[in-house]
Amino acid sequence: MNFYILSPLVDFANLIAGYFAEIWDFLIFIGNISSFIVVLIGAILWFTEVNSKRGKGLVLGGILLAITVQYFVFFPPSFTLM
């Protein structure tokens, strides 16, 4: 027995899920760029010896951010309805 009354609600939920998927892709893009920038700034600080301790911390933090973003690229959340 199918209920066609809920069809507009399902369409609306699918539309919202599509928006969430687009937002997710944008956040992954921002995460990739920010991890690259953090590692780059950390490497500059570290190798120019301006602030070596801070540079090492930024490099480590940028690598951890890149690993985290890559994990979410491999295992994204499901934005579909069952």
Contacts by residues 19-22 (CB-CB < 8 Å, ≥ 24 positions apart): 20/79, 21/79
Q: Report pLDDT digits (tens) over 39-63.
A: 999 999 999 989 899 999 999 999 9
- Measured CA distances, 75 to 11, 16, 23, 25, 65 (Å): 25, 20, 16, 13, 15
Let me know: does 43 contact 56? Beta carbons within 8 Å. no
Distance, in Å, from the CA atom of 77 to the CA atom of 54, rounded to the nearest integer, reads 34
For the chain, give the percent of residues with pLDDT over 90.
61
Biggest CA pair distance of the chain: 71
Per the model's pLDDT, the better-predicted residue between 20 and 79 turns out to be: 20
Instruction: Assess whether pLDDT exceeds 70 at residue 80.
Output: no
Q: What is the pTM of this model?
A: 0.76
